[in-house]
Chain A
Amino acid sequence: MTDAPLLTMRGIVKRFPGVLALGGVELDVRAGEVHCLLGQNGAGKSTLIKILSASYQPDEGEIFWNGEPVSLSTPQAAMDLGISTIYQELDLVPDLSVAENIFLGHELSRGGFSQRSTTNRRTRELLARLGHPEIPATRAVGRLSPAAQQIVSMARALSQDTRMLVLDEPSAVLDQGEVDNLFRVIRDLTAEGVAVVYISHRLEEIRQIGDRITVLKDGSTVATGLAVDQTPTSELIKLMTGRSIEYVFPPRGGVVPVDAERVLEVSGLELSGVFSGVDLTVRAGEIVGLAGLVGAGRSEILETLYGARRPSAGTVRVAGRELRRGSVPAAVKAGIGLCPEERKSQGLLLDQAIYSNITVSSMSRFSRLGLLDSRAERRRSTELTESLDVRPAGVDRLVRLLSGGNQQKVVLARWLLRECRVLLLDEPTRGVDVGARAEIYALVRSLADSGVAVVVVSSEVEEVLGLADRVLVVREGRVVHEGPATEIDESRVLDLVMEGSAA
């Protein structure tokens, strides 16, 4: 490892309408090191990667490659420098073979005829180098497992002269054995002088593989070039969150009385292959949090009890009434509301006005014989957006133009208007800045105080613990712990979440 940086980024700024995605990022990566990029959801990691791969152009800032200023104007320019990026959503063509995918765009050919045998031989060499000689070079990529697909992506990067490899949460789709293999491959690459930029949430992984760390928070670099072995975990968490948790969360209203109405009762809920045996009771005024790793089944539990997925067993009751299985309209009618995980793709009609996003689930209230009274819609939506402090004001504005926090408030306003009895929140603060987070937490608490039963799913353990009255920990599709939020701490939750998987 040399100390002269291979890549240097200075003062990178990237704006989207209404959002400052990156507000001055500094990064330097040396050849032969594993440089970890750390930050919460919405901290700007993905945006930064997309600038590295030249999918986005920065609005301000400078990029140096080997000390020379460069502009990453097209993805091809980034590739020519030797920067390869492997995204979370793998960008492979499922119907092409492994070999065809690896050499896509730089096919081996002579006189316009593709050289199949050479291609397949080189493919086998690359796969062997990555420790996966068993992947067949001629198999269609769509038929491989996610882990194998990732190996193919890496082989694709290595088939070119890669000097810097960017890995976006590579371990998310892998099991422990596969992660070990991935780390072995990464070590081989760095030994050859390749720089690796490694993005992950999992601090223990960063301890295992990383050399230095850069921490992003709210689009800015808060620390760069920290040596992994000299930085305690608590320091990293503080840098990532930058706040004291108690300050942000609203005070709990006191113990929910045992005789409060059982608004939501779930028993024996099962979605085959994903989760099973989920029992859950939420009383009026109570907030229940679900903690667990991504893929443990948290979101699926919410979606199933909302009717968006059809359970293979079990019942959902609202106020004692059993819901028809797998029907969203039935759930909405019974008074359940869902703020989905992917706000933009699942929650919002981005090209519609704010008011029609709010009234979409309560249209019957504004219509007579099917005719909509849009003046009443606007009036009611204006009241709600004003009380939730959605900015900028004006309900005719397109939802697309709002920031993440304000978009989330619009989704919440939808269910406020609906006066739902059960509110399901999936990652309610993903992509929401800290200020708006506090407002959303306060809003959720005041909803609970008004008698709504709330279920919150979050990847951020402190969010679950800070907001909820009661916590359920989910691991591999099973509830492994249930108890009051005040009687468990973050490290215990993490232990429960990891148990078994961190062998």
Chain B
Amino acid sequence: MSDQTSGTGKGPDVAAVENPLAPSQDSISVERAASGSEPTAGGGLMSGPFGRNLGLVLALLLICAAGVITAGDRFASIDNTLTILRFASTIGVVSIGMTFVITGGGIDLSVGAILALSSVWATTFATQAMAQDTHWLVMVFAALAVGAGCGLVNGLVIAYGKVVPFITTLAMLAAARGLAEIISERRTQIVTVDGFKDFFSTDVLGVPLLVVIFAVVSVAGWVLFNRTTFGRRTLAVGGNPEAARLAGINVNLHTVLLYVLVGFCCGLAALMLVSRTTTGTSTHGFMMELDVIAAVVIGGTLLTGGRGTIVGTVLGVLIFATLGNVFTLNNQDTSTQAVAKGLIIVVAVLLQQRLARRASST
């Protein structure tokens, strides 16, 4: 069973709902549920999330086809593919963390700002001087610690201060970017530590390290989400916090951990962006929260929590990255791109709401 569903990012439990209810009439779903004494195995288990991800894959292929038709070899080249992936990897790493937070019933608007603060902190004169004296890992440590630290603050305020996530992370969004501006004095900080630059520009079998990191984070995220107690608790906390609490789960602690996790991802993404641009600046990751949340949501994670998918998120990230690439190759400005993005988000959310309504009407 685990083999069958391993490519889907959702447990078979989700499959069990979405497929039997696929016909939209309530009366039909009623009959299925009532007469459902036969085992749920077979096509029903597979096709729910599989079909959903299939839709995303089709969308991706469609965009690729558009790319090939309009830009030909400029699109369908290894170089361009790596460009897309390199671009996707930064947003992707944050989106994996965001998938956990949203599934756990929260939201984090401060990811872009945390990324900026991490990038600045890791590239200040002091940090780089220390890295020169000791080891470039100091920069890595600084970025990850700042990211996780901001997440910890978010988590503590939300879980124990009982401030809603939207407001808490909105405050962090303002504060973290402001702090990044103060520290950097709004200047772009150039990376001079060669060890850092060399390491992050290495290739693994021809694949840029950034892309490898994205792949590793995705796989680790999938395992964490689908195969661990942490992932199971995330679903429980997001799906029904009161039931989770009464089942003995420490909901507050888990909430804190979720925000620390996404903060850590921001730190990691900051390092990736710093190495790609060889700069740290307070403008890094500007408005990134919107791209990240959009990717997670079109991937199929419910904004209300309790249901999520890592594979869907990865596909969502790739869809946006490829779309942006195709538009750029066709010399379309970012404004047109933004309009297309908006349309995709609305269509995806409309589809998702229909699914949710079907699930709740049973």
Q: Which residues of A contact B235 (CB under 8 A)?
A: 349, 352, 356
Closest chain A residue to B237 by CB distance?
A349
Q: How far is the CB of B32 from chain A (nearest CB, A)?
A: 8
Closest chain A residue to B15 by CB distance?
A396
Per-residue 0/1 for B51-70: is the Cβ within 8 Å of any A Cβ (1 yes, 0 no)? 00000000000000000000
Assembly CA distance A350 to B238 (angstroms) = 12
Instruction: Say which residue of A306, A345, A349, A351 sits within 8 Å of B17 (CB atoms).
Output: A351
**In which size bucket is the chain A interface?**
35 or more
Interface flag for A67 (CB, 8 Å): no
B33 lies within 8 A of A351 (CB): no
A332 lies within 8 A of B248 (CB): yes
Interface flag for B47 (CB, 8 Å): no
B243 lies within 8 A of A348 (CB): yes
Per-residue 0/1 for B3-17: is the Cβ within 8 Å of any A Cβ (1 yes, 0 no)? 000000001111011
Q: Which residues of B contact A333 (CB under 8 A)?
A: 248
B34 lies within 8 A of A17 (CB): yes
A360 lies within 8 A of B246 (CB): no
Q: Tell me the count of chain B residues lying within 8 A, CB to CB, of chain A.
A: 42
A346 lies within 8 A of B242 (CB): yes
Interface flag for B82 (CB, 8 Å): no
Interface flag for A16 (CB, 8 Å): yes
Interface flag for A231 (CB, 8 Å): no
B13 lies within 8 A of A398 (CB): yes
Q: How far is the CB of A298 from chain B (nearest CB, A)?
A: 16
Which stretch of A87-95, A179-187, A248-256, A365-373 is in the interface? A365-373
Q: Which residues of A contact B223 (CB under 8 A)?
A: 371
Instruction: Say which residue of A15, A331, A367 sits within 8 Å of B30 (CB atoms).
Output: A15
Q: How far is the CB of A392 from chain B (nearest CB, A)?
A: 4
Interface flag for A61 (CB, 8 Å): no
Q: Which residues of B contact A392 (CB under 8 A)?
A: 36-37
**B-contacting residues, A344-381, CB 8 Å:** 345-353, 356, 360-361, 363-364, 367, 370-372, 374-375
Which stretch of B108-116, B120-128, B159-167, B224-232 is in the interface? B224-232
Interface flag for B349 (CB, 8 Å): no
Q: Which residues of B contact A350 (CB under 8 A)?
A: 239-240
Interface flag for A340 (CB, 8 Å): yes
B2 lies within 8 A of A347 (CB): no
Contacts A328-B248, A348-B240; A372 near B228 (Cβ below 8 A): yes
**A-contacting residues, B239-269, CB 8 Å:** 239-240, 242-250
A401 lies within 8 A of B243 (CB): no
Per-residue 0/1 for A70-109: is the Cβ within 8 Å of any B Cβ (1 yes, 0 no)? 0000000000000000000000000000000000000000
Interface flag for B236 (CB, 8 Å): yes
Instruction: Say which residue of B29, B45, B359 sits within 8 Å of A351 (CB atoms).
Output: B359
B249 lies within 8 A of A18 (CB): no
A361 lies within 8 A of B248 (CB): yes
Interface flag for A414 (CB, 8 Å): yes
Contacts A351-B17, A374-B2; A328 near B245 (Cβ below 8 A): yes
Q: How far is the CB of B17 from chain A (nearest CB, A)?
A: 5
A397 lies within 8 A of B229 (CB): no
Contacts A394-B40, A397-B36, A400-B362; A340 near B236 (Cβ below 8 A): no
Interface flag for A393 (CB, 8 Å): yes
Interface flag for B324 (CB, 8 Å): no
Interface flag for B306 (CB, 8 Å): yes
Assembly CA distance A54 to B244 (angstroms) = 33
B246 lies within 8 A of A347 (CB): yes
Q: Which residues of B contact A394 (CB under 8 A)?
A: 39-40
A328, A361, A414 interface centre (most CB from chain B within 10 Å):
A328
Interface flag for B307 (CB, 8 Å): yes
Q: Which residues of B contact A345 (CB under 8 A)?
A: 240, 242-243
A397 lies within 8 A of B16 (CB): yes
A396 lies within 8 A of B240 (CB): no
Contacts A351-B307, A372-B232, A392-B37; A398 near B240 (Cβ below 8 A): no
A346 lies within 8 A of B243 (CB): yes
A391 lies within 8 A of B16 (CB): no
A360 lies within 8 A of B245 (CB): no
Assembly CA distance A18 to B244 (angstroms) = 25
Assembly CA distance A287 to B29 (angstroms) = 41
Per-residue 0/1 for A385-414: is the Cβ within 8 Å of any B Cβ (1 yes, 0 no)? 000000111101110110000000000001
Q: Which residues of B contact A308 (CB under 8 A)?
A: 245-246
Interface flag for A318 (CB, 8 Å): no
Closest chain B residue to A327 by CB distance?
B250
Q: How far is the CB of A374 from chain B (nearest CB, A)?
A: 7
Assembly CA distance A349 to B249 (angstroms) = 13
Assembly CA distance A371 to B223 (angstroms) = 8
A364 lies within 8 A of B16 (CB): no
Q: Which residues of B contact A401 (CB under 8 A)?
A: 17, 33, 36, 362
Per-residue 0/1 for A17-28: is the Cβ within 8 Å of any B Cβ (1 yes, 0 no)? 110000000000
B229 lies within 8 A of A370 (CB): yes
Interface flag for A447 (CB, 8 Å): no
Closest chain B residue to A364 by CB distance?
B229
B232 lies within 8 A of A356 (CB): yes
Interface flag for A131 (CB, 8 Å): no
A340 lies within 8 A of B229 (CB): no
A349 lies within 8 A of B244 (CB): yes
B248 lies within 8 A of A329 (CB): yes
Q: How far is the CB of A472 from chain B (nearest CB, A)?
A: 22
Interface flag for A338 (CB, 8 Å): yes
Closest chain B residue to A57 by CB distance?
B26
Q: Which residues of A contact B242 (CB under 8 A)?
A: 345-346
Closest chain B residue to A392 by CB distance?
B37
A393 lies within 8 A of B37 (CB): yes
Contacts A393-B37, A394-B39, A401-B33; A414 near B307 (Cβ below 8 A): no
Contacts A17-B29, A17-B33, A370-B230; A361 near B247 (Cβ below 8 A): yes
Q: Which residues of A contact B247 (CB under 8 A)?
A: 332, 360-361, 414
Q: Which residues of A contact B229 (CB under 8 A)?
A: 363-364, 367, 370, 372
Q: How far is the CB of B16 from chain A (nearest CB, A)?
A: 6
B33 lies within 8 A of A329 (CB): no
A338 lies within 8 A of B239 (CB): no
Contacts A17-B33, A346-B243, A396-B16; A370 near B248 (Cβ below 8 A): no
Closest chain A residue to B307 by CB distance?
A351
Q: How far is the CB of A316 from chain B (nearest CB, A)?
A: 15
Q: How far is the CB of A220 from chain B (nearest CB, A)?
A: 18
Q: Which residues of B contact A328 (CB under 8 A)?
A: 245-246, 248
A360 lies within 8 A of B16 (CB): no
Q: Which residues of A contact B230 (CB under 8 A)?
A: 370
Q: How far is the CB of B320 from chain A (nearest CB, A)?
A: 27
Assembly CA distance A363 to B244 (angstroms) = 12
Q: Which residues of A contact B37 (CB under 8 A)?
A: 391-393
Per-residue 0/1 for B208-235: is the Cβ within 8 Å of any A Cβ (1 yes, 0 no)? 0000000000000001000111101101
Given A356-B11, A401-B33, 18 more A-B residue pairs with CB atoms under 8 Å apart are A18-B33, A306-B246, A308-B245, A308-B246, A331-B248, A338-B246, A348-B243, A349-B235, A349-B240, A351-B306, A360-B248, A361-B248, A363-B232, A370-B228, A371-B227, A375-B2, A394-B39, A401-B36
- Which positions in B face A, CB cutoff 8 Å? 1-2, 11-14, 16-17, 27, 29-30, 33-34, 36-37, 39-40, 45, 223, 227-230, 232-233, 235-236, 239-240, 242-250, 306-307, 359, 362
**What are 13 contact pairs spanning A and B, CB under 8 A?**
A17-B33, A328-B245, A328-B248, A347-B246, A349-B244, A352-B13, A356-B11, A356-B235, A363-B229, A370-B228, A375-B1, A393-B37, A401-B362
When A and B form their complex, which 10 residue pairs have the shortest distance between CB atoms, in order from nearest? Answer: A332-B248, A17-B33, A353-B13, A392-B37, A363-B229, A370-B228, A360-B247, A17-B362, A361-B247, A361-B248
